[in-house]
Structure 1
Amino acid sequence: MQGDSISIEEIAKALGVSKTTVSRALSGKGRISEATRSRVRAYVASTGAAPTVRARWSEKTATHNLTMIIPPHFVHLDLPFLRKCMGGISMMAAQRGYDLLLCYASASDTSQLERQLSNRKTDGVILSRAMEDDPCLDLLQQYRVPYVVIGRCEDTSIPQVDNDQVGASYEMTRLLLRLGARRIALIVGTNTYTVNIDRMRGYLRALPEFGVPEDRRLIQDGVESIAQRSDALEAVLDQHPDCLLCGDDRLAFDVMQALHARHIRVPQDLQVASLYDSELLLNTVPNVSAVQFDAERLGASACRMLLDILAGKQINTRQVEGYQVILRDSTH
């Protein structure tokens, strides 16, 4: 077999592992055990063949379609950020003569994306969320399809467009401290998404500047489901905070409803702020202080970067958009 080639699919079938595992073993990227990595490489070496990947995407006929990957729960929740991002991507794509396809994918299911890629239905992909060890990235690299990530990736060679989440969280926390808060509780989502890691980093960076020690009892992370939100709120209220800092608009909206049901007055008894603003927070009484990002512009910037890649232009692989902190009646 010396001099022949062997596909990733053939390696995966022979070893009884997934194509993602083979891709990670050969690329040296992603989290797999050293034993598995060595096993894959040893098998390839024993065949005397060179592993092959898909032909370069630029070699195929253009479809003039772009794909946006969104999380499955987008179907069940009103997520203004993703909706506005989608609008920005769609408008920019249309200006350049492209249509936008949607694709649901998660850490446990990338079948829809693989179907689009294997059937060559798209010219490039935009991932709407940056995840730790995202299996979608392995697929995209395997098929050699151009892509851009919305969010921060540790690998700076990956094309990415992000909001300054660390700076925004830091500035909001500093403003709350300047307004007199000293026991600020933070409630954020899962660390699977780098945006939540960055929000916590900004919060923790601000505390020492006002002589406030870190208190892990005031931090609730990994909060995603309705039940987890209720448990997280219960846990931080037991610590007698003077302010609740919520990771996003949906969480802040639910917290405001829960506080109202408990007859806890905002801001008289407890201040509330959010690290993402949307129209949801204009439907609360009082309106919630929040960080404003231009999600539509973010989506358009991500799409523009992808189109520049498709056109063969040189790009800056990391682009960061700004923000504005809006103080409303929930904090003063």
Structure 2
Amino acid sequence: MAGKRDEVTIAEVAEALNISKTTVSRAISGKGRVSEATRARVFDYIGKGRQDAAAPLRTAQQGPTNNLALVIPKHFMRLDLPFLRKCMGGVWNMAAQRGYDLLLCYAGETDVGQLERQLESHKVDGVILSRTMLHDECVQTLQRYNVPFVAIGRVDDDKVPQVDNDQVGATAEMTRLLLQLGMRRIAYMGGCTNYTVNEDRLRGYLRGFSDCGVQVDQKLIWTGIETSEQRIDALEGALEQKPECLLCADDSMAAAVLQELRARHIKVPEQVKLASFYDSELLTSSTPQISAAQFDGERLGATACRMLLDILAGKQIALRQMQGYQVILRESTK
């Protein structure tokens, strides 16, 4: 093809081959259901002999939309979790100050269809990920589309702009403090470790034991808790091991565990102590008030949004930023 550009757009390939833009994107990434014949046609069109090479596709150049997208895990669709609410507030306020609107986008572990549609239709100038996973489909999609984005949470890629709370430091300190109070049988109850925040909290728990020279009883570690049934099963399993303290990975789990203990007529802190790796009004308004690691969710969201807006403005930023914390011991661990 005489005078063919080095770059073609996804839309151009889709139109030329009479297939959808989503199909073109999936053919390039190797993700999703695309026949080998279709994939071969796509790579033949863009002039690549190797299907493992990075395809020189880009989205069409358009003017700014003054919209940002905040990507939220599908299982957070209720939007009533304290962390998510505060984080969204920080993002929204910072965006509004700079003249941007905020669009919400939901994504599953492997389902990034809504995000792809927003990117394909050029609805947003940049994206903020509210949570990160070990093998993050959203990160890969955004890198493929070459769209500016910032991740809230850890991403194991130094080139990805990211901001996070010091999860490992906070959880290690909480664990050390409980050990220094004389507790030894401290049970851990956490969510799926595919999410980096849950993996980091477990790492902090283990580091706290290591720092104090105390061996961890693996029978006291319960992970992968995502449903109420799994939480009850984990609680029952932990209680069978006669723990001195139940250490929950977040506020919603700690509040639910407190309610379940109350239903079983198990007194906190007299019979078992309780603490959380994340603080919120759920824990400060409970009886007893629950010990927790405290982070500033609104500041975290605002920082992520500021980073993204600075990137869009062409400014240099620190690609990895870490927020502080405070560990607060309350009645539940006395």
Query: Where on the TM-score scale, by shorter chain, does this alignment land: which range?
Result: 0.7 to 0.9
Q: In 1, distance between residues paired with 2:88 and 2:217?
A: 38
Paired amino acid for 2:277: L
Q: Percent identity?
A: 57
Residue 95 of structure 2 is aligned with which of 73, 93, 107? 93
Which of 42, 53, 56 is the matching residue for 1:52?
A: 56
Residue 140 of structure 1: how far off its partner (Å): 1.2
**What's the CA shift string for 1:261-288, capped at 9, x where partnerless?**
1111111111100000000112321010
- Give the match's secondary structure for 1:107: coil
Deviation sequence 1:73-128 (CA, Å, 0-9, x none) = 22336311011000000000011011111111111321211111111111100000
Contact 1:24/1:138 (8 A) holds in 2: no
For 1:191, the aligned partner's letter is T
d(CA) in 1 for partners of 2:166 and 2:137?
Answer: 25
| 1:54-69 aligned within 5 A | 54-55=58-59, 59-69=61-71
Residue in 2 aligned with 1:330? 332
CA gap of 1:293–1:24, structure 2 versus 1, over 3 A, is farther
C-alpha distance in 1 between matches for 2:265 and 2:100 = 51
CA distance in 2, matches of 1:48, 1:110: 24
Amino acid of the structure 2 residue aligned with 1:298: L
Equivalent residue number for residue 29 of structure 1: none
Given the alignment, which residue of 131, 146, 149 partners 2:148?
Answer: 146
Secondary structure of 1:235's partner? helix
Distance 1:100 1:48, change over 3 A: closer
SS in 2 for 1:90: helix
User: Secondary structure of the residue that 1:272 maps to in structure 2?
Assistant: strand
TM-score normalised by the chain length of structure 1: 0.87
- Name the SS of the counterpart of 2:188 in structure 1: strand
Gaps of 5+ in 2: 49-54
Deviations 1:146-183 (A, max 9, x none): 00000001111100000000000000000001111101
**Structure 1 contact 88–296 (Cα < 8 Å) conserved:** yes
Change (3 A) 1:97 1:157: same
Q: 1:185 aligns with which of 166, 187, 198?
A: 187
The answer for the alignment partner of 1:276 in structure 2 is 278
2:158 corresponds in structure 1 to 156
Q: State the alpha-carbon separation in 1 of the partners of residues 217 and 24 from structure 2.
A: 42
Q: How far does the alpha carbon of each residue in 1:33-63 deviate from its partner, in whole angstroms, 9 at most, with x for none?
A: xxxxxx999998877814331247xx42001
- How many residues align structurally? 318
Distance 1:161 1:229, change over 3 A: same
Aligned-partner Cα distance in 1 for 2:45–2:62: 30
For residues 21 and 264 of structure 1, do their structure 2 counterparts lie closer, same or farther at Cα, with a shift above 3 Å needed? farther
CA 1:215–1:18: 2 relative to 1, 3 Å? farther
Give the superposition deviation at 1:18: 8.2
Say if 2:211 is the partner of 1:205.
Answer: no
1:23 lines up with 2:29 in the alignment: yes
What's the counterpart of residue 36 of structure 1?
Answer: none
Which amino acid letter does the alignment assign opposite residue 212 of structure 2? F
Kept after mapping to 2: 8 A contact 1:22/1:40: no
The aligned residue for residue 312 of structure 2 is: 310
Q: How does 1:112-123 map to 2 (within 5 A)?
A: 112-123=114-125
RMSD: 2.8
How do residues 250-261 of structure 1 correspond to structure 2 at under 5 angstroms?
250-261=252-263
Native 8 Å contact 2:27 2:39 kept in 1: no
Q: Which of the residues 52, 70, 73 maps onto 1:71?
A: 73
